[in-house]
Amino acid sequence: MSKNVLLYAAILIFGLVAPFVFPAFKVQLSILCVLIVLATTWNIQGGEMGYNTFGNILFYGLGMYLCASVQVGMFFPLAEWTESGGEKTFVHTPTQFFQGMAAGLVVAAVVPTIVAGLIGYAILGLRGHYFAICTLGLGVAAGEISGGIEIIGAGQGFTTPPFPNVGGLEARGEFFYFLSFGALVLTFIAVRAIYSTRFRLILNAIRDNEDKAEAMGIETMKYKIIGWMVSAFFCGLAGGIMGGLVGYIDSTDVAFDGREMGVFMVLMAILGGKGTLWGPVIGATVFHIFKEGFWTFFLGWQYVALGVLIVVIVIYFPEGIMGWLREKYPERFGEVVDEADRKAQVELK
Amino acid sequence: MDFMVFQYPMITVQACLDGILLGILFALIAYGMALQWGVMNIINIAQGDLVILGGYIAYFMYLYGIHPAWGVIVSPIIMYFVGVGIYKLVINKVVDRDLFISILATFGISILFMQLMNFAFGADVVLANSGYGTTFLFDSAVVLPNSKIFSAFVSIVFAIGLVIYMKKSKLGRAIRATAQNARAAKILGVDTEKVYAATFGLNAALCGVAGALISITFTIHPYMGLPYTIRSFMIVIVAGLGNLPGVAMSGMGLGVFEEFADYILGTEFRIGSVFLLLVLILVYRRFKLSRKREYLK
């Protein structure tokens, strides 16, 4: 236990001092935090519940649009803002900016949760690949439809309010870093708390055999919807932060980016190891380092590399890093292994 | 919003005819998906990208001065080998695995193809001009490009040809046997591995035909693949596996729906409405089945 506390304290301290130690990587670290949040929340569905979704991008994009819309709409007419595009006719004062951001993030987190609750009953009744394809359709449909709505910028995009002129250039990066780091800490604490309760066991029961879980008297639909809502809450929050960080929202390339972010979250969770607390965190970190470190070497071939990466990970590495570690060092995971049995199994292979 | 549809009945006729001709094409793609879904139990997200690749083959023939209609013959032959190649490299490793693994793997293939096509052929919207002219009906109120009629005709010929092939040929029988029970087929001497490869190749070849026709009739673009996947998936789940008249009917129905969505909601919502329709159909099926305490599987 004390080892865990030390580990958490070390990570927390690293997180708090990181933007000052590595000032050049502030934006990258903020994106990493958002990616970890997305992978962790995807894992609630895909890993723990066995409902592999491509649709969490819906909540992410919804949060992004909502946060920016509220931030603008609280003080200025939204339609004129989006119409003016890049040329700023309206300028947020610092107070307005931060108030708007705070209100926007609350809305960005709460509304997707409600949406998840409303559509959950209909969508979560589907199983297996029908669920996967249905959520894929939802994400793409949201992107296509939001690309046709004039008030949020339609095809030309939506510029989020620029950071007010306080504290110089460094302040913007630090503000968004601590915002996303805060979201990460909040998500991790919440998910860890959830995983230590009976709720996680119920989700695992749904994953392993939903019919049996239902026969045992668990109201599976209720728990599935709650799990989906928890995901939606943090996805929306992450989306809201990411919108401010990127500074520009496009319907299919930034917000409902099923081709990029929507696949990334699945990939990161699988790379790290589905159904573990730390898997998505490790997966997201490795993925982000790999992506940022090597992306530039591919010179435009990034997506080709991404496609190959997906295929390779899925075919040869479906258990992920945590799964591999678990097979290698089962003692560390609290599993008691009979040495003779293990040898026999190795020989069998 | 545009209410032209209700004011001018001829637009309704136009939309219906366009939709039916388009739907026949969709049905051809869906037929390929139903084939490999039924035999291998794999949902191929890269289906639409295979279609687009087939379209580019016809487009390149057009660029080099060959009439693009020959693409209908050439494209499936090339695509057959592409399909078998994909099977040997990726699909044979995911056939017996969890369905989500196969969805994700084919999603990866889809992204790969999309980008490779983007590099190789550029991000422009292209079409192969067949020079077939147009047919005017009802005092020029309804305009039908002859290429659409040609493509619907060719699709029907290929679909019927494939049905006969599946019924009569040795490979067709092997495919049907494997679809019914892969293990039993194996015991009785069917090389299921080969059957799987051939099935995926046939599916890709059908996509090639459809793609060549789409490049003549409509436009192709490297990123346009996913909507074709979703359309064929939707057609298959509405019709059910192995119900060929159903596939044709629901394909045409989808085509007509799209044309009307295009007229009424506007072109920018066309693709969105297709994806939304998929969600609605799945949700409808889910509620219908849940009354009997069953679920889609």
Structure tokens at B141: 């109120």
Specify the pLDDT at position A88.
Answer: 62
Whose structure tokens read 């004390």?
Answer: A2
The radius of gyration computed from the CA coordinates of chain A, to the nearest angstrom, equals 21
Specify the pLDDT at position A91.
Answer: 73
Determine the residue of chain B that is closest to A51 in CA distance.
B100
Phi/psi at B170 (5° precision): -70, -45
Q: Which of A123, A141, A314 is nearest residue B283 as measured by Cβ atoms?
A: A123
Distance CA B266, CA B262 (A): 5
B279–chain A Cβ distance below 8 A for any pair: yes
pLDDT at B16 over 80: yes
Residue B295 lies in a domain: no
Distance CA A221, CA A211 (A): 11
Specify the pLDDT at position A290.
Answer: 82
Determine the residue of chain B that is closest to A52 in CA distance.
B100
- Pick the residue with more confidence: A110 or A296? A110
pLDDT band at A21 (very low <50, low <70, confident <90, very high): confident
Specify the pLDDT at position A111.
Answer: 92
Residues with Cβ < 8 Å from B185, sequence gap 6 or more? Answer: B174, B177, B178, B192, B195
Contact list in A for residue B101 (CB cut-off 8 A) is 314-315, 318
Residue B226 lies in a domain: yes
Residues of chain A numbered 209-268 and touching chain B (CB < 8 Å):
259, 263, 266
pLDDT at B6 over 70: no
pLDDT at A345 over 70: no
Q: Hey, how many other C-beta atoms are within 10 angstroms of the C-beta on B137?
A: 13
Distance CA B267, CA B256 (A): 14
| Rounded alpha-carbon distances, angstroms, from residue A183 to A19, A30, A141, B205 | 16, 10, 27, 49
Mean pLDDT of the region B221-246: 84
- DSSP designation for B126: B
Specify the pLDDT at position A113.
Answer: 92
User: Hey, are the CB atoms on A130 and B115 less than 8 Å from each other?
Assistant: no
Specify the pLDDT at position B179.
Answer: 85
Helices (H), chain A: 2-21, 26-43, 56-73, 78-84, 94-123, 128-146, 168-195, 198-208, 210-215, 220-246, 261-272, 279-298, 302-316, 320-328, 339-348
Contact list in B for residue A132 (CB cut-off 8 A) is 99-100, 103
B282–chain A Cβ distance below 8 A for any pair: yes
User: Hey, are the CB atoms on B103 and A132 less than 8 Å from each other?
Assistant: yes
Of B220, B269, B233, B229, nearest to B45 (Cα)?
B229
pLDDT band at A75 (very low <50, low <70, confident <90, very high): confident
Burial class (CB in 10 A: 0-12, 13-18, 19+), B65: exposed
Of A292, A283, A285, nearest to A24 (Cα)?
A292
Q: What is the pLDDT of residues B238-281, one digit of tens each?
A: 887 777 788 888 888 888 888 888 888 777 788 888 888 888 88
A118–chain B Cβ distance below 8 A for any pair: no
**Nearest chain B Cα distance for residue A255, angstroms:** 15
User: Hey, are the CB atoms on B112 and A130 less than 8 Å from each other?
Assistant: no
Residues in chain A: 349
Distance CA A280, CA A273 (A): 7
pLDDT at B2 over 80: no
CB pairs under 8 A between A and B: 135
> Which range is least confidently modeled, A156-165, A270-279, B42-51?
A156-165
**Nearest chain B Cα distance for residue A268, angstroms:** 13
B235–chain A Cβ distance below 8 A for any pair: no
Specify the pLDDT at position B268.
Answer: 76
User: Hey, are the CB atoms on B275 and A137 less than 8 Å from each other?
Assistant: yes
pLDDT at A300 over 70: no
Question: Letter for the amino acid at B237?
Answer: I
Question: Letter for the amino acid at B223?
Answer: Y
Of B259, B177, B209, B178, nearest to B29 (Cα)?
B209
Provide the 3-class DSSP secondary structure of residue B144. strand
| Rounded alpha-carbon distances, angstroms, from residue A33 to A22, A180, A181, A332, B54 | 15, 6, 6, 27, 41
A183–chain B Cβ distance below 8 A for any pair: no
- DSSP designation for B266: -
Share the mean pLDDT of chain A. 82
A137–chain B Cβ distance below 8 A for any pair: yes
pLDDT at A1 over 60: no
Q: Which of A140, A309, A318 is nearest residue B275 as measured by Cβ atoms?
A: A140
Specify the pLDDT at position B100.
Answer: 80
- Pick the residue with more confidence: B243 or B180? B180
Confirm if A105 and A237 have CB atoms less than 8 A apart. Answer: yes
Residue B214 lies in a domain: yes
Residues of chain B numbered 10-69 and touching chain A (CB < 8 Å):
43
Contact list in B for residue A311 (CB cut-off 8 A) is 90, 105, 108-109, 112
B135, β-bridge pairs: B144
A308–chain B Cβ distance below 8 A for any pair: yes
Of B243, B211, B189, nearest to B37 (Cα)?
B243
pLDDT at A167 over 60: yes
Q: Are strands A158-159 and A248-249 parallel, antiparallel or unpaired?
A: antiparallel
Provide the 3-class DSSP secondary structure of residue A159. strand
B143, β-bridge pairs: B136
pLDDT at A266 over 80: yes
| Cα–chain center distance at A245 | 15
Confirm if A220 and A62 have CB atoms less than 8 A apart. Answer: no
User: Hey, are the CB atoms on B282 and A138 less than 8 Å from each other?
Assistant: no
Residue B190 lies in a domain: yes
Mean pLDDT of the region B164-179: 88
Of B180, B188, B163, B151, nearest to B41 (Cα)?
B180
Residues of chain B numbered 76-135 and touching chain A (CB < 8 Å):
90, 93-94, 97, 99-101, 103-105, 107-116, 118-119
pLDDT band at A348 (very low <50, low <70, confident <90, very high): low
Q: Which of A115, A251, A315 to mutate to test the interface with B (most CBs of B within 10 A)?
A: A315
pTM for this model (two decimals): 0.85
Residue B60 lies in a domain: yes
CATH number at residue B18: 1.10.3470
B145, β-bridge pairs: B134
CA angle (B272, B275, B278) in 5-degree steps: 150
What is the number of structural domains in chain B? 1
Q: What is the pLDDT of residues A195-208, one digit of tens each?
A: 888 888 898 888 88
Confirm if A123 and A134 have CB atoms less than 8 A apart. Answer: yes
Which region, left, alpha or beta, applies to residue B293 given φ > 0 means left and ψ of -120 to 50 means alpha? left
Distance CA B29, CA B235 (A): 9
**Nearest chain A Cα distance for residue B157, angstroms:** 31
Q: Hey, how many other C-beta atoms are within 10 angstroms of the C-beta on A288?
A: 21
Mean pLDDT of the region B37-45: 85
**Nearest chain B Cα distance for residue A177, angstroms:** 31
Provide the 3-class DSSP secondary structure of residue A76. coil
Structure tokens at B158: 């290929």
B142, β-bridge pairs: B137
Specify the pLDDT at position A330.
Answer: 73
Whose structure tokens read 């249905």?
Answer: A134
Specify the pLDDT at position B1.
Answer: 46
- Residues of the domain holding B66: 4-290
pLDDT band at A233 (very low <50, low <70, confident <90, very high): very high
Share the mean pLDDT of chain B. 83
Specify the pLDDT at position A114.
Answer: 92
Of A317, A326, A322, nearest to A273 (Cα)?
A322
Residue B296 lies in a domain: no
Structure tokens at B240: 């059910």
Q: What percent of chain A has pLDDT over 70?
A: 89
Mean pLDDT of the region B91-120: 84
Of B51, B21, B20, nearest to B212 (Cα)?
B51
